[in-house]
A and B are shown apart, each in its own frame.
Chain A
Amino acid sequence: DTGVSQDPRHKITKRGQNVTFRCDPISEHNRLYWYRQTLGQGPEFLTYFQNEAQLEKSRLLSDRFSAERPKGSFSTLEIQRTEQGDSAMYLCASSHTGTSGGGRDTQYFGPGTRLTVL
């Protein structure tokens, strides 16, 4: 199966520590997205890449957050100096911008990384 994968699936850390998550998109997808989901809420957009370029960052993404997508393949999301309010599920999704087909614009999500900050 070549769906979106995320690693790790779960991360428990102490407040003040840095954490890094990885996302591997579907191989032919040129767009990659990060979302955050807290309990009882829908996912909220964090940031978006087209190939290796980060084209938008939500105001939810404070200076402690940084995301990269070197070479337009996998992406990493790093949170520095974690706070308890960062506890959430971090979801990655990918899509392609082909000119035709029902799959265009459909975002396919990975299983998520659940972060718990103690």
Chain B
Amino acid sequence: SQQGEEDPQALSIQEGENATMNCSYKTSINNLQWYRQNSGRGLVHLILIRSNEREKHSGRLRVTLDTSKKSSSLLITASRAADTASYFCATANSGGSNYKLTFGKGTLLTVNP
């Protein structure tokens, strides 16, 4: 079963605009990771945020985590056509099974030049 649910399922924006994707999950987590996947390819790790962290930045990426609402958001600023991809959130549960990731269905982001 898939724990993370990304919202929206698809997002289309113009180059230079910001893109925000949300992720909700159901159980207590150890960490949450965001990945990017270009069509038909492997996943590229973007950022990991731990359950005791609230916000992290990496270049044009900003991730927030609200454990009370069991939700996370990924903000991509000043988007580029090369950011076009599917974006997945993945959670590692707290407790004994904290090694395996549970993915959502992803958000398909299209950045139009």
Contact = CB atoms under 8 A, between A and B. Distances in A.
A100 interface: no
B103 interface: yes
A102 B105 CA distance: 26
Interface in A87-110: 89, 91, 93, 95, 102, 105-110
Given A44-B103, A45-B101, A45-B102, A105 B92 contact: yes
Interface string A14-42: 00000000000000000101010000111
Interface of A: 4, 31, 33, 35, 40-45, 48, 50, 56, 89, 91, 93, 95, 102, 105-112, 114
Contacts of A105: 30-31, 48, 92, 98
Contacts of B41: 111-112
Interface residues on B, range: 20 to 34
Contacts of A48: 99-100
B41 to A, nearest CB: 6
Contacts of B42: 4, 91, 109-112
A19 to B, nearest CB: 19
B92 to A, nearest CB: 7
B68 interface: no
B105 A109 contact: no
Interface in B46-98: 48, 88, 90, 92, 97-98
A85 to B, nearest CB: 18
A45 B103 CA distance: 9
